[in-house]
Copies of this chain bind each other. A is one copy, B any other.
Amino acid sequence: MQAELITIGDEILIGQTIDTNSAWMGKELNALGIQVSQITSIKDERNAIRSAILAAEKSAAKIILITGGLGPTKDDITKHVLCEYFETELVRNEEVLAKIQAFFKSRGREMLESNNMQADLPKACTVLLNDMGTASGMWFEKGDTIFVSMPGVPYEMKHLMSDRVFPKILERFELPAIFHKTIMTDGIGESFLVELIKDWENSLVAEEIAIAYLPSPGIVRVRLTAQGQNKATLEEKVLRKANELHQLVPQYIFGEDDISLEEALAAALKAKGKTIATAESCTGGYIAHLLTSISGSSAYYLGGFVSYDNQVKIETLKVSKESIEDDGAVSKTVVEQMANGARNLLKTDFAIATSGIAGPDGGTEEKPVGTVWIAIASEKGVQAKKFLFEQNRERNIRRSAMAALSMVLKAVK
């Protein structure tokens, strides 16, 4: 079963909004055995919307999911174009109107006429009630194809997909099986990983398993995919090959199924009942942010320091002034003292410290932009490692954080 996604909105084409909705939808649809064959982003414009829907209708996809263009403001015209396309008209839906009124009342907010008009919906559609906002979803059928229009606000779209669209899709279609397994690797580049596992990769052909390498800063995801009729058979063969990969390069694998390094670390810390603290210079709070993005992180993350200024390193973290003067803030001795300082202050089992030159300024011949020292302190003492990342500030921060999480994860394990 194939699906096409259509996102409507000038903001995506002009680059002011990044299309995160499609990624979420692609992932969720795949889990149901539905493959997204195309994503099309078009303008908030009658002809563009009509042509995109028509092209999708003519494709092999039987599920066409449309997001965006349903807000109360003047630049949103999707609803009118849908009426035209499906030869129907808008009628005021009293149930939706009552819901919108209740929505505004519960938030103590004044209601505008443009909000009332959100209860005007195409006669020919099945209305999908939206519990998170004022724009309803619309489900149309034409021949053996279904068309769903939803608001583009991510949490409203996710609610409508999860609670309204998926149940109706499962009722309407008989879906073939698809099975993915993603193995998460870190600390090795894509080309080197491919070279290391090429014999194993070649053995996938006979099993009809597809492979994809998905690199991101510091991490390469290896995704295996099999399709067929019997989910159990697919699962068995994919997991068997995944297991072979685990045995082949265990030192580079930190988890499966899109788990992040911070999630893997969270799981390891929880399993062992250990706690952690951070002392960040070049990563500037990013590691703390990654750790605290996980709900329940207060169980193992006690807190941290962003010691951007040297004075903070000296006064708060008790780094010796001499070390900073002699070796510089980006050095083994300083990063080790930062890690020990954070661990002692917060009395945690582990502490991570980073000190580096994120760039674009601050590099020297001896310590170019991208030079980063990372230390991990634990009851076993402190270990530090030097990295040379790249020229780009954002990527240096990201790669430093990934390398630090990887180091501490190995230490915790």
Q: Which residues of A contact B (CB under 8 A)?
A: 10-20, 22-28, 30, 35-44, 48, 52, 55, 71-75, 109-110, 112, 114-115, 153, 155, 180, 182, 189-192, 194-195, 201, 210-216, 221, 223, 258, 278, 280, 283-289, 291-293, 295-298, 301-309, 311-312, 315-316, 345-346, 358-361, 392-395, 397
Contact = CB atoms under 8 A, between A and B. Distances in A.
Contact of A182 (B10, B16, B291): B16
A113 B192 CA distance: 12
A284 B288 contact: yes
A155 B217 CA distance: 11
A26 B48 contact: no
Given A303-B307, A308-B298, A27 B14 contact: yes
A15 B26 contact: yes
Contact of A346 (B215, B216, B312): B312
A201 B215 CA distance: 45
A213 B10 CA distance: 10
A12 B37 CA distance: 10
Contacts of A283: 292
Nearest to A113: B195
A397 B293 contact: yes
A191 B114 contact: yes
Contacts of A75: 210-213
Contacts of A112: 191, 194-195
A298 B309 contact: yes
A284 B295 contact: no
A295 B38 contact: no
A413 to B, nearest CB: 23
Nearest to A40: B40
A132 to B, nearest CB: 9
Given A30-B15, A191-B114, A298-B308, A39 B41 contact: yes
A28 B15 CA distance: 8
22 contacts: A11-B214, A11-B223, A13-B39, A14-B30, A14-B223, A15-B23, A15-B25, A15-B27, A16-B23, A16-B182, A17-B214, A19-B22, A73-B190, A75-B212, A109-B189, A114-B195, A153-B215, A286-B292, A288-B289, A289-B289, A303-B307, A305-B305
A293 B394 contact: yes
A110 B312 CA distance: 42
A210 B74 CA distance: 10
A299 to B, nearest CB: 10
A215 B76 CA distance: 13
Contacts of A191: 72-73, 112, 114-115
Contacts of A12: 22-23, 26, 39
Contact of A15 (B22, B211, B285): B22
Contacts of A293: 284, 393-394, 397
Most chain B beta-carbon neighbours within 10 Å: one of A17, A221, A309: A309
Given A13-B38, A40-B40, A303-B316, 9 more contacts: A114-B195, A155-B392, A278-B285, A283-B292, A289-B289, A292-B308, A295-B361, A306-B306, A315-B345
